[in-house]
């Protein structure tokens, strides 16, 4: 037998597709895997036997996202269309907060810029997110505009694509590399959302790295408590240390660094307004566990 190490790129019905030195294997897991290692995920690096095709060990993860359920992600690329569905600061900032909670850096890619979107609208989004230290790119998956700036972002990284369905995740993948042949949904005007075309998490090899195409899921599934938001909302974590109260929610507390920087224009008003709305809609961690 030969022991090999590889990356799980797909998992279905107990069969794990593994890539090792550019060769693909279909493996199962050995019953002897210890309990804490039994829950193998796409993104896991595993040791397997290339004769009986059984996985017998898994490397410790450096990150573990819950939605989508994936291990060892280096960065989150949040895809949002500028239109159809309409860009939402609320959702985009919620996704970034979610990535921050798992200590995964995020980048925003805006799609459908070919659909007569005003320059002002794009600039406002870019400025807002850049102030919060989040890079923004704008592309058209249809004309290919902007794609060359986006390609290098994926180099040697495991990237998780995340975004509502219908925003163009699969289309972006196909535009980057037509051989991916991801099935594209259609944006339904009537439903106001795209059909869920991508059913499972799968890692695709791209530029010495991997990209995860993920199923659309409801943003309601991204459980964020008030306390998470106060801490992980973009730009807040580093400021929280300078707030007078250690558990400052940055709303009505005295000597709040976030409010101070808002007044000085260092935090965009639209971001702070979105924070208030997100916080208002979130439940409190403490309240939930006191029940």
Ligand X SMILES: Nc1nc2c(ncn2[C@@H]2O[C@H](COP(=O)(O)OP(=O)(O)O)[C@@H](O)[C@H]2O)c(=O)[nH]1
> Interacting stretch for ligand X, rule CB under 6 A, among 118-126, 140-148, 219-227, 255-263?
140-148
- Annotate each residue in 156-175 with x if it binds Mg ion (CB under 5 A) or - if it does not, as one string: -------------xx-----
198 binds Mg ion (CB under 5 A): yes
Minimum distance of ligand X from residue 125's CB (angstroms): 15
Beta-carbon contacts of residue 231 (< 8 Å; ≥ 6 apart): 237, 240
Token duo for residue 224: 């964020």
Pick between residue 145 and residue 247 the one whose CB is nearest to ligand X.
145
Element (H, E) at 108: strand 106-111
Closest CA to 222 of 69, 66, 63, 100: 66
Beta carbon of residue 215, minimum distance to Mg ion (angstroms, whole number): 8
Q: Applying CB under 6 A, which of residues 17, 97, 138, 141 lies at the interface with ligand X?
A: 141
Does residue 162 bind ligand X (CB under 6 A)? no
Cα–Cα–Cα angle for 60, 63, 66, rounded to 5 degrees: 115
By C-alpha distance, which of 132, 73, 135, 74 is closest to 110? 135
256 binds Zn ion (CB under 5 A): yes
Tell me, letter by letter, the H, E, C secondary structure of 71-86: ECCCEEEEEEECCCCC
Point out which span in 85-93, 191-199, 252-260, 269-277 binds Mg ion (CB under 5 A).
191-199
Nearest-CB residue for ligand X: 168
| CA atoms within 13 Å, Cβ hemisphere of 21 | 5
C-alpha 229, offset from chain centre: 16
Residue-level length of the chain? 291
> Binding partner of residue 256 among ligand X, Mg ion, Zn ion, none, CB under 5 to 8 Å per kind?
Zn ion
- Give yes or no for residue 158 binding ligand X (CB under 6 A): no
Nearer Cβ to ligand X (46/204): 204
- Retrieve residue 209's tokens: 């790295």
231 forms part of the interface with Zn ion (CB under 5 A): no
Residue 168: which of Mg ion, Zn ion, ligand X, none does it interact with, CB under 5 to 8 A by kind? ligand X
Strand, coil or helix: 208: coil
Among 94, 169, 231, 259, binds ligand X (CB under 6 A): 169
Q: Which residues bind Zn ion (CB under 5 A)?
A: 243, 248, 250, 256, 258
């Amino acid at each position: 037998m030969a022991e090999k190490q590889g990356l799980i790129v797909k998992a279905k019905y107990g069969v794990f597709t593994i890539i090792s030195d550019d060769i693909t294997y279909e493996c199962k897991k050995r019953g002897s895997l210890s309990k804490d290692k039994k829950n193998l995920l796409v993104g896991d690096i595993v040791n397997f036997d290339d004769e009986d095709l059984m996985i017998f060990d898994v490397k410790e993860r450096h990150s573990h996202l819950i939605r989508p359920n994936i291990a060892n992600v280096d960065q989150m690329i949040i895809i949002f269309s500028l239109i159809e569905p309409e860009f939402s600061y609320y959702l985009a900032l919620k996704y970034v907060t979610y990535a921050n909670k798992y200590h995964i850096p995020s980048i925003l890619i805006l799609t459908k810029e070919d659909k007569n979107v005003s320059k002002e609208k794009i600039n406002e989004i870019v400025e807002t997110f850049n102030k919060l230290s989040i890079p923004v790119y704008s592309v058209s998956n249809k004309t290919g505009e902007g794609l060359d700036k986006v390609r290098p972002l994926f180099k040697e990284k495991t990237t998780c694509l995340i975004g509502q369905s219908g925003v163009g995740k699969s289309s972006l993948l196909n535009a980057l590399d037509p051989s991916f042949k991801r099935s594209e949904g259609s944006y339904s005007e009537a439903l106001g959302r795209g059909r869920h075309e991508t059913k499972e998490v799968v890692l695709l090899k791209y530029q010495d790295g991997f990209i995860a195409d993920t199923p659309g899921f409801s943003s309601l599934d991204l459980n964020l408590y008030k306390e998470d938001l106060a801490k992980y909302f973009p730009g807040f974590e580093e400021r929280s240390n300078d707030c007078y109260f250690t558990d400052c929610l940055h709303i009505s507390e005295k000597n709040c660094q976030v409010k101070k920087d808002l007044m000085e224009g260092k935090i965009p008003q639209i971001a702070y307004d979105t924070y208030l709305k997100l916080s208002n809609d979130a439940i409190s961690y403490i309240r939930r566990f006191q029940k």
